Amino acid sequence: MDPILAWGMDVIRAVQRIESPALTQLALGVSAFGSAYFYLLALPLLYWCVDRRRGIRIGLLFFVSSFLNGWIKDATMESRPYTVDPSVGRAVETSPSFPSFHAQSSALFWGALASSFRRPLAWLPAVFIPALIGFTRLFLGVHYPSDVLAGWAFGFGLVLLDRAFGDRIERLVVRQRERMQLALVAVVALAMNAIDMKDTGIAGVFFGFGVGVVLMPRIAPFSVHGSLGQRALRFLVGAAGLVILYLGPRLLVGSIESLDPALVRFIRYGIVGLWASLGAPWLFLKLALSETEAEST
C-alpha cells in the first residue's frame, strides 16, 4: 500500500476512536452540506435572492471546479478507504476517492463568497466550514487525508485564480456581443465533453446556465431585491422547478434507453442549468415575485 495512503488509513482509524452513534449521524448531516444537492439549492439562492452578479460568477466557477474534480477522479481512479478496509466505512460513495469533492467544493464556494465580499470576518466560515466538512469525510471513512488536503488546495487555488484574473475575464466577456458570448459558452461546454466524456452532466449544466445568463438581461432582467416574503417565495418556486427538472427525468430513463445516455444526461442537466439562470427568473417576473432590474433602481 502507498505510504501516504497507509498513513491516511492510520489517521482515519485514530479519528474514529471518538465514534458514537450520535457522532456518526452528526457527521453524516454535516457532510451533506458539502454534497452536490446542497449546492443545487445554495447557488440558485445566491443568484435569485441575494446577489445576481455574485451568483453568476460563483456558479460558473463552481461548475469549472466540479468538472476538474471529476476529471481528476477519473484520471486517478483512487479507491475509497473503506474498499481497502471495510471496517472504517461509515458511508458509501460511487465515485473515486481523489480528490474530495466535498472538500474542494466547500473551499471553492465559501472561499469565493468570502473573496467577493472582501471582509476579513467573511473568511471565518470560509475556513471553518470546509475544515469541518473535511473532518467528517475522514470520520466517515470515505476519504484519505490526502484526498481532503488536495480538495482544499484545488478549491482555494481556484478562488485565488478567480481573484487574480476573474474581473478581467468578466469585463472581456461582458464587452462581447450576445452571439459571441453564446459561442464562448458552447465552446467551453464542448471542450469539457471532449476532455471527459464519462460525465456530460457538468458540461450540460454549464452550457444551460451559461446560455441563460447570456439571454437573461434581454429576456428576464430580474432583480434580487424585494421583501423577505418575496425572496422566500421566489426561492420556493424556483427550487420546486429545479427538483422537478432534476429528478423527474430520472423516472423516464427506462423508456428512453434507445437514446445515447451521455446525450440524455447533457440535455437533462442543460435544462436544469437553463431553468436556474433564465426560466425561473422569467417566471418570477410573470408572477410578480420580482421587479425588473430597471424598476428596482
Side chain identity at residue 171, one-letter code:
R
Question: Per-residue pLDDT tens for 140-186?
Answer: 999 999 999 999 999 999 999 999 999 999 999 999 999 999 999 99
Residue 256 has pLDDT above 80, yes or no: no
pLDDT for position 14: 95
Per the rule left: phi > 0, alpha: psi between -120 and 50, beta: everything else, 118 is left
Show contacts of 259-266: CB within 8 Å, 24+ apart.
262/197, 262/200, 263/200, 265/199, 265/200, 265/201, 265/204, 266/193, 266/200, 266/201, 266/203, 266/204, 266/207
Question: Rounded to an integer, what is the distance from CA 196 to the centroid of its chain?
Answer: 17
How many other β-carbons are positioned within 10 Å of the β-carbon of residue 122? 15
What is the spatial distance between Cα 278 and Cα 220, in angstroms, rounded to a whole number?
7
What is the spatial distance between Cα 75 and Cα 162, in angstroms, rounded to a whole number?
25
281 vs 231, 285, 290, 293, CA distance in Å? 12, 6, 8, 11
Model confidence band, residue 257 (pLDDT cutoffs 50, 70, 90): very low
How many other β-carbons are positioned within 10 Å of the β-carbon of residue 264? 17
Span 244-259, average pLDDT? 65
10 vs 71, 82, 212, 282, CA distance in Å? 28, 13, 47, 53
pLDDT for position 248: 76
The pTM score is 0.92
145-159 per-residue burial string, b: 16 or more CB within 10 A, e: under 16: bbbbbbbbebbbebb
Residue 296 has pLDDT above 80, yes or no: no
How many other β-carbons are positioned within 10 Å of the β-carbon of residue 227? 8
Domain spans, the chain: 31-175, 177-297
User: Any idea which residue has 482515519 for its cell?
Assistant: 12
Question: Per-residue pLDDT tens for 62-78?
Answer: 999 999 999 999 999 99
pLDDT for position 254: 52
Q: What is the mean pLDDT of the chain?
A: 92
pLDDT for position 246: 85
Span 15-43, average pLDDT? 94
Residue 192 has pLDDT above 70, yes or no: yes
pLDDT for position 196: 83
Return the C-alpha cell found at 150. 488536495
Residues sharing a CB contact under 8 Å with residue 12, sequence separation 6 or more, in sequence order: 81, 88, 138, 139, 141, 144, 145
Question: Per-residue pLDDT tens for 121-139?
Answer: 889 999 999 999 999 999 9
Residue 30 vs residue 118, higher pLDDT: 30
Q: Is the dihedral of CA 242, 64, 78, 147 positive or negative?
A: negative
